[in-house]
A = this chain, B = another copy of it.
Amino acid sequence: VPHQPLRFDPILLAEENWRARGWDDAARGMAVLTSVMRAQQILLSSVTDVLAPYDLTFARYEVLMLLTFSSTGSLPIGKIGARLQVHPASATNAVDRLEEAALVERVANPRDRRGVLVAITRKGRKAATGATAALNDQVFSRLPLSADAMDQLFESLRALRREHGDFETPP
């Protein structure tokens, strides 16, 4: 996004505007939500830059890693969508692109003829290995936060995800 840095924090300023209107009980929530939006934009942009040489998007990279971690190297396309929490149409689209690049193959599912298995190819494994090395080195291990801040961030966002019903909370 081509812009000069601002001389002030735009989200903090918005929060002040909120409080000036008497919306004190919502001001911090607005600021937190907006911060998450902006952080996502920043992080996705970093990831996108690193993945560009591999002709991968983050969504397609996630599909590849899911297959890498599966015992057979293949999964039903519906499972992929569920694990990645995206719409079935998005999973179809991601697999389309990966298949065009020969990183995965669609295989008939012998246990359910409605279903489609997505299998990672040798080329797909190579791409996943290279992309992971690049992401680990250039992004994941270099977030500008202390270990404590990362842990707090992870736990707070995990609570948010849990409350939203992303996953069951073990008893």
Q: A residues touching B (Cβ–Cβ < 8 Å)? A: 1-12, 14, 17, 23, 25-33, 35-44, 47, 58, 65, 69, 81-88, 132, 135-137, 139-145, 147, 149-154, 156-168
Contact = CB atoms under 8 A, between A and B. Distances in A.
A12 B163 CA distance: 16
Interface of A is mostly: helix
Contacts of A145: 32, 156, 159-160
A38 B30 CA distance: 18
A168 B7 CA distance: 5
Contacts of A7: 167-168
Contacts of A2: 87-88
Given A82-B4, A85-B3, A158 B35 contact: yes
A10 B42 contact: no
Contacts of A84: 10
